[in-house]
Amino acid sequence: MTAAKVGNRWRVAVSKATGPAKRGGIRKGDILLSIDDKDITSAAQLKNFLIERKAPGQQVTIRVLRGEEEKLLSVTLGKI
Structural domains in the chain, CATH included, are 2-76 (2.30.42.10)
pLDDT of residue 79: 79
**Tens of pLDDT along the chain (80 residues)?**
777 777 777 788 888 888 898 999 999 999 999 999 999 988 899 889 988 999 999 999 999 999 999 999 999 998 76
Confidence at residue 80, expressed as pLDDT on a 0 to 100 scale = 65
Task: Report in angstroms the alpha-carbon separations of 69 from 14, 62, 78.
Answer: 15, 14, 26
29 vs 20: CA distance, rounded Å: 16
Q: What is the pLDDT of residue 62?
A: 94
- Distance CA(42)–CA(31), nearest Å, equals 11
